[in-house]
Structure 1
Amino acid sequence: EYDASVEEALCFGWVDSIIKKIDAEKYARKFTPRKSGSLWSDSNKERVNKMIAEGRMTESGLARIEEAKQSGLWQKSPRADISFEIPEEFERALQQNKEARDFFQQLAPSYQKHYIGWIVVAKRPETREKRIKESIALLTKGEKLGLK
C-alpha cells in the first residue's frame, strides 16, 4: 500500500520519488535518503506529525525534520512559488502545433496546471525544453500528462 510504504520511508528520513509504470497494473517506486535542502510536501509533513504523535519516528527521521526546521525549509511549501502562467516557450510551442493547442485548451484547468507546473519546476533550461517537447508530443496525441 502506498501510504504505508511512504510512512515507512519517512520514519527513517527517506522519501519516495520516481514512479515508473511496469505494466497495466504495476508501478515501481523509488525510495532514497532525503537530500539536504529538499522541500517537504504538506502531505509528508502531515504524515510525519502523525507518526511523531504515535512514536513511530526514528532518530534519523527526526534529524531530517529538525534539519528542515533549522534551515527554514519546513515552513516553505513546495508549490508556493510556482507560477501557473503559461511560460513563453510553452506558449510558442503550443501556437506552432494546432492539435496540441486545441487539446490543451479543452483540458480542465487542473490538467493545464499539471502540465505548466511540471514544466516550470525544471531546474535546468535543457530539462525545461525537454519537458515542453514531451508535453507537445502528448498533447498532440490527445493525452494527459499522467504521473510525473
Structure 2
Amino acid sequence: MAEPRAFISFDFDHNEESRRLFAGQGKENSPTPFIIQDWSSKSALEEDEWEEKIAAKISACNMVIVLVGRSMGSAYGVAAEIAMAKDKNVPVFGVYVDNATTSSTLPSGLARNRVISWTWAGVAAAINQMMGEGKNA
C-alpha cells in the first residue's frame, strides 16, 4: 500500500497526547500494517494563517482522520477542518480516543457511522476504504 497522507484532526486543547500517540504508533517500525504521514498542525496558529495552511494541507492528503475525544463539543476547529475536507472531496472518518464512546458528542459534519473504536485492525480497514474513496487516491 502506498503511504497514506492523513491529516489528523483533533481537539488541540484536550487531545494533543492522543494525536501524538496515534501518529507515533502509525509510523514506520510499528506493529501497524500501514504508515501514516501526519500532516496535522503541531502548533497553534493565528486564525487567518490557520485557515490557509490547514486548507492546503487537507488538499494534499488522502483522508482526514478525526480523533474524537470527550470534548468535541468545544472543538470548533475540528468542525471547520471537516468542512474543508468535504469541500475538497477528501474522505473523513473518526476514531474514538480519550475514553470517548458512541454516546460522546461528535463534531459537526462527522456522521456517527464514520467513527470507529481505536483498534489498529479497524483503522487499517478504514484507511483502505478511504484510499479507495478520495480524490487523491
What TM bracket, shorter-length normalisation? Answer: under 0.3
Q: TM-score, normalised by structure 2?
A: 0.26
Q: Say which structure, 1 or 2, has more relative contact order (CA 8 Å, 6+ apart).
A: 2
Larger Rg: 1
